[in-house]
A and B are shown apart, each in its own frame.
Chain A
Amino acid sequence: MTASTAGAATPLLEVRDVSLGFGGVRALTEVSFHVKKSELFSIIGPNGAGKTSMLNCISGRYTPTAGKVYLEGRDVTPLTPNQRAVLGIGRTFQNLALFGHMSVLDNVMVGRHHLLKNNFLTGSVYWAGGAQQEELAHRRKVEDIIDFLEINHIRKATAGTLSYGLRKRVELARAIAVEPKIILLDEPMAGMNLEEKEDMARYIVDLNEEWGMTVVMIEHDMGVVMDISHRVVVLEFGRKIADGLPDEIMSNERVKTAYLGVDDEEEKAPMRASA
């Protein structure tokens, strides 16, 4: 598969020659890939490969030192994260980033922020300015998401008191509530047990197939990635080393080297250096 934008339609998300440097450290070097509509796309790579940096460049947390990010053909590189959220980029975080003192319900409702119209004036006079109807209408949508992720029983619980697996699910719910065109999941299954992983994988596949949402996922569990992804991009030391269908990636020599290292004598030298 080539990196060029094949096909008539513009890809939903295109990352073109993105480089990111922090002082002397080059986190990303001229990375390009694209994600098509309703695709389940994975970014993999060894630790420190720049996967999360890549996601941060897409969601707007970082501005790339060079290169552009396009959403539906529109250059979003100069936009702030909140502007990108409005345009349709939602995400979850690798480290839990819930609003700890809010209830699960309120957490998910914050996801509706850009879809709600009421403001501090109409909100303060709740009953008169239409804020109530709007809040309740969105509550209904939020309840659909809560149903889908099976977190009904904790909807009134304080987010900070939940277990790790549940928090990850609430985070996913909150990201879905944004109704993004593309949802970025940063290690949605990290630190989960097998059962929780299976659940999460099912939610992600359902999200993609039933809700028709485009998903970009970073994940270390190769079994899950190769099972559910449509396409995969592999990063190593901030560079793209492969891009293609899961099967192609599995048989790619470069990827094997990146993950497993190479033969003995070549491998030992850097090992000693780092020790």
Chain B
Amino acid sequence: MITSSLIPCGQFKTSYAADNTIFPTPVSRAFAIGGVALLIAGPLFLNNYHLNLLIQIGYLGVAALGLNILVGFTGQISLGHAGFFGFGAFMSAYLNNNYGVPVALSIPLAAVFTIIPGLIFGIPAGRLKGLYLAIATFASQFILEDFFARADWFSGGSSGAMANPINLFGYELSGDRGYFYFVLFCTVIAYVLGANLMRSRDGRAFVAVRDHYLSAEVMGVNLAKYRILSFGLSSFFAGLGGALYGHYLGFVSAEGFTILLSIQFLGMIIIGGLGSVMGTLMGTAFMVLLPETMEAAVSVVKAMAETDVAWLTNGLAYIKQASIGLAIILFLIFEPDGLVHRWKLIKSYWKFYPFSY
């Protein structure tokens, strides 16, 4: 099968260390490093609109990585991811506003603190599976949302909380340009941590729990521990993403963390590929760029149309949302393994081109 091994011939690994790298070939690693280098150079030739999109992909991608660890790798379900995302955002603002923790420190600290609600709401996961767990996490979404709206001391209640811009070495990263680098740094770190986790003991245990929990247990994996741990790690990344989001907008409001966002996170990992670290980033990029593409398409139609297309421009908000829903459905039908699988197929196609046998 061409899809079973994508390692090109001539790739001989002479040590276990070389066989255990994150990227299977030097070329793929070079591409990843090159990609990051390109992004570092990005602000030189990208305008603020593009940077804004990249920052969105960054912080949403970090949070989606958390959800993928939970849903894609451990095989659990969470409908409350936006709650943890919001908790991270409020936590970072809270630490900064009330305890004067510098923002560069409050963001990772907020991520660590978000583990706590993650573990608490993860406790049912020790016992519940499937739909029952979905309902339990659904509850966590509303409990957290309600908490944000009511806990004035923590979140500012209905008026929300101010989130200060980040201050690094006396230099304020207020503009998109400065913040872009910070988000890029955090995203790369998060993804490296995620990729490392998945090639070490606990990452394998997560997948084992997903694939066959009975035999995982016989191999010495403590099921309840790993199910709850997965929630904890997932909320860590959610909190990190949320904190980055909060300080980017400069203002955190409880309205931003609804069930819709939770569903969108699920959409990202389904489109990107469940159980794939890189797929998460692809899915996030897809979900962020799809509405923008729709907007661009609508404006093109408007420019070209000879008749009045007000119905189209007025419906833009709906078109954006519907396109996301449609994309999720189409992916579930035609590419349930997500963009990452499609990407592999494309790679293997070109590997053998033009002799496809």
Q: Cβ of A59 < 8 Å from any Cβ of B?
A: yes
Chain A residue with Cβ nearest B22: A126
Q: Quick one: CB contact mask for B216-232 with A, threshold 8 Å, 1 for yes?
A: 11111111000001000
Of the candidates A80, A116, A156, the one whose C-beta lies within 8 Å of that of B217 is A80
Interface residues on B, range: 35 or more
Residues of A within 8 A of B203 (CB): 120, 123
Chain B residue contacts of A178, Cβ below 8 A: 219-220
Q: Indicate if the CB atoms of A131 and B208 lie closer than 8 Å.
A: no
Most-contacted residue by chain A among B199, B211, B221, B275 (CB, 10 A): B211
CA of A125 to CA of B203 in the docked complex: distance in angstroms? Answer: 13
A229 to B208, CA, bound (A): 32
Least Cβ distance of A98 to chain B in Å? 7
Query: Roughly how many angstroms separate A131 CA and B197 CA in the complex, as a whole number?
Result: 10
Name which residue of chain B comes closest to A135, CB basis.
B200
- Which of A86, A110, A112, A156 neighbours the largest number of chain B CB atoms within 10 Å of its CB? A110
A2 contacts the other chain (Cβ, under 8 Å)? Answer: no
Q: In residues 4-22 of chain B, which contact A (Cβ within 8 Å)?
A: 4-5, 7, 16-17, 20
Do the beta carbons of B202 and A102 come within 8 Å of each other? no
User: CB distance B207 to A98 under 8 Å?
Assistant: no
User: Which range contains the number of A residues in contact with the other chain?
Assistant: 35 or more
Contact A123 B20 (CB under 8 A): no
Selected from B196, B204, B222, the residue in CB contact (under 8 A) with A109 is B204
Q: Are A85 and B219 in contact (CB under 8 A)?
A: yes
Q: Once the chains bind, are B200 and A118 in contact (CB under 8 Å)?
A: yes
Asked, given contacts A118-B201, A124-B196, whether A99 binds B17 with beta carbons under 8 Å apart, the answer is no
Give A156 to B223 CA distance when docked, in angstroms.
Answer: 26
Q: How far is the CB of B275 from chain A (nearest CB, A)?
A: 7
Asked if A140 contacts B233 (CB within 8 A), the reply is: no
Q: Which of A61-101 contact B (CB under 8 A)?
A: 61, 80-82, 85-86, 90-91, 93, 97-101
6 CB contacts below 8 A, A to B, read A59-B218, A86-B220, A113-B204, A118-B200, A119-B201, A139-B16
Interface residues of A (CB under 8 A from B): 59-61, 80-82, 85-86, 90-91, 93, 97-102, 106, 109-114, 116, 118-120, 122-126, 131-132, 135-136, 139-140, 143, 156-158, 161, 174, 178
Q: A114-B219, A126-B199, A136-B16 are in contact. List 11 more A-B contacts (CB 8 A).
A: A61-B214, A85-B217, A100-B212, A101-B210, A101-B275, A106-B204, A110-B208, A112-B201, A126-B200, A156-B5, A157-B4
